[in-house]
Amino acid sequence: MALEPQTPREDAAGGVPQIPLTPREQEVLSLLSLGMSNAAIAATLHIGVSTVKTHLSAIFWKLGVSNRTQAGVAGSQMSLPIVPDSVPLGNSST
């Protein structure tokens, strides 16, 4: 069964075309919204930094943004999953 390419759809406000994020992209965006670096996201999700970069590229395209800050702002306005052990580095209370 071949996968068909997804076509962006307009959001309710007629703004930036969006395609739903995959569950893993949602996790990456959730951690990005907490201010985590690519290395910290990779360590938290047990994936490689290059994989994080691949997910971020897909997230930027799907959200119609061009950088981490814009994606983080968009992510903070979405209902994203809470990733276990996702306390940003430097914010631990130990």
Three-class DSSP category at 24:
helix
Could you tell me if residue 50 is inside a domain?
A: yes
Q: Convert the pLDDT of each residue in 3-55 to its tens digit.
A: 444 445 444 444 444 689 999 999 999 999 999 999 999 999 999 999 999 99
pTM over 0.85: no
**Where residue 62 sits, what CATH number does that domain have?**
1.10.10.10
How many distinct structural domains can be found in the chain? Answer: 1
Residue 65: predicted pLDDT: 93
Could you tell me if residue 91 is inside a domain?
A: no
Could you tell me if residue 42 is inside a domain?
A: yes
Residue 93: predicted pLDDT: 47
Determine the Cα–Cα distance for residues 31 and 11; give it in Å rounded to an integer. 24
Could you tell me if residue 84 is inside a domain?
A: no
Domain extent at residue 69: 23-76
Residue 53: predicted pLDDT: 97
Which pair of tokens denotes residue 67? Answer: 């950088």
Determine the Cα–Cα distance for residues 43 and 57; give it in Å rounded to an integer. 18
Could you tell me if residue 70 is inside a domain?
A: yes
CB 44 within 8 A of CB 36: yes
Distances (CA, A) of 67 to 6, 46, 63, 75: 22, 23, 10, 12
